[in-house]
Amino acid sequence: MRSIEHATPFMMFAFVFAGLIVWNFISRSRRGEKFFVRRLPGIDAVFEAIGRSAELGRPISFSTGLSGVGPVLYASMGVLHGIAQKCARYGSSLFIPQNDPAAMAVVEDVARDAYRAVGKGAQFDPQKIVFLSEEQFAFASGYMGLLHREKVGAAFLFGSFAGESLILAEAGQQVGAMQVAASVSPEQVAFFIATSDYTLIGEELFAASAYLSQEPVQVGSVRAQDVVKFLFFILIILGVTFATLAAIFPSLSFLNLETFMLGSWGIAGE
């Protein structure tokens, strides 16, 4: 199979079609149509953890892990916005340790905006957004130190994580913090399930922000992604069926769905 640097006709069609679905659901949601977003126990636990920390008078930590500026960071920012608003209302300290300088600028802006949104702009302390290190394990070490020094009551791990995920989650366990973790990396999800109180798996990280804010654009896009995913699911079923039939009846060349999906534009020299 050739490596993909440019889209095939099928990919272009899928891209445009997915875009139309997203546009359709966002428009409908903006017009007031209600879409159901299922309950996510991990997100319900976010508010429980903030409340518990506020009662105990202990600070809260929110980490985006090794996330750089990208979709995962933007998805996590929706959750951070909700958490920062709650912390501002309850007067809880919110520490946001950072690994990426570019992401840090985004994080600071979102946190400041959340404090202002609830009329507590003066309470916002930029010193709580701590740049630890760009190096993975130095960051993990700094995070452990921070959690132990500040004795946090709740730790939220939303973003991209790698080998340091277990170190971060164990640090929260050691200080007795209630932890909610979310990662799109399947390898790290297993570690979070073993160490955190609640774990959001894969796309739940993207849905969390919609669930928290109930914003029409976000709710509509969650619905759109469900529809796109359903279409992909149908494609997978079709692919499996066609591949099985092609194995049984090798003479039927039209059954080769891979050729159809990865077929080129038919341009000379492509």
Partner 1 sequence: MKELLIKFSTFLAGLYFVFEFLIPGTWSEAWGIDKLNEPISNGFVAIGSMAFGLGIINLVRIHGKTILFRSNKWFYSLALLLGLFGMIVFASLDWIENLTITKTSDRILLLKSFSEKIITDYDNKTPNVLDPKSRTDFLIKAWNQEKNSFSPELMDTFKSNLSFQKVEELIQTLSRLDSYSPETLRELAPNFAEVSTFYRSASSASYENSMTKFAYKLLNNGIFVPLGAAMFSLLGFYIAGAAYRAFHVRSLEAFLMMAAAVLVICGQTTFTLGIYSGFSEIRAWLLQVPNSAAFRAITIGAGVAGLVLAFRMWFSVESGVFGRKK
Identify residues 42-71 at the interface with partner 1 (CB under 8 A): 71
Examine residue 22 and tell whether it contacts partner 1 (CB under 8 A).
Answer: yes
Chain residues 224-243 in contact with partner 1, contact rule CB under 8 A: 224-225, 228-229, 232
102 or 252: CB nearest partner 1: 102
Q: Which of 119, 199, 133 is nearest to 166 (CA)?
A: 199
Q: Which residue has the tokens 């017009």?
A: 31
Examine residue 113 and tell whether it contacts partner 1 (CB under 8 A).
Answer: yes
CA distance 140 to 163: 10
Residues 135, 148, 249, 259: which binds partner 1 (CB under 8 A)?
135
1 or 251: CB nearest partner 1: 1
- Phi and psi angles of residue 105, each rounded to the nearest 5 degrees, phi first: -65, -40
3-state secondary structure of 239: helix
- Give min distance, CB of 99 to partner 1, in A: 10
Encode burial over 45-66: b for 16+ CB neighbours within 10 A, e otherwise: bbeebbbbbbeeebbbbbbbbb
- Give min distance, CB of 49 to partner 1, in A: 18
Of 45-53, 159-167, 242-250, 251-259, which part binds partner 1 (CB under 8 A)? 159-167
- Give min distance, CB of 51 to partner 1, in A: 22
Residues 47, 55, 56, 138: which binds partner 1 (CB under 8 A)?
138
Amino acid in the structure at residue 162? A
Chain residues 67-106 in contact with partner 1, contact rule CB under 8 A: 71-72, 74-75, 77-78, 80-81, 98, 100-102, 104-105
Q: What is the 3-state secondary structure (H, E, C) of 91-123?
A: CCCEECCECCHHHHHHHHHHHHHHHHHCCCHHH
What is the per-residue DSSP string for 142-158?
HHHHHHHHHT-SEEEEE
Cα separation of the two ends of the chain: 15
Residues 24, 93, 123, 213: which binds partner 1 (CB under 8 A)?
213
49 or 106: CB nearest partner 1: 106
Residues 1, 5, 32, 248: which binds partner 1 (CB under 8 A)?
5
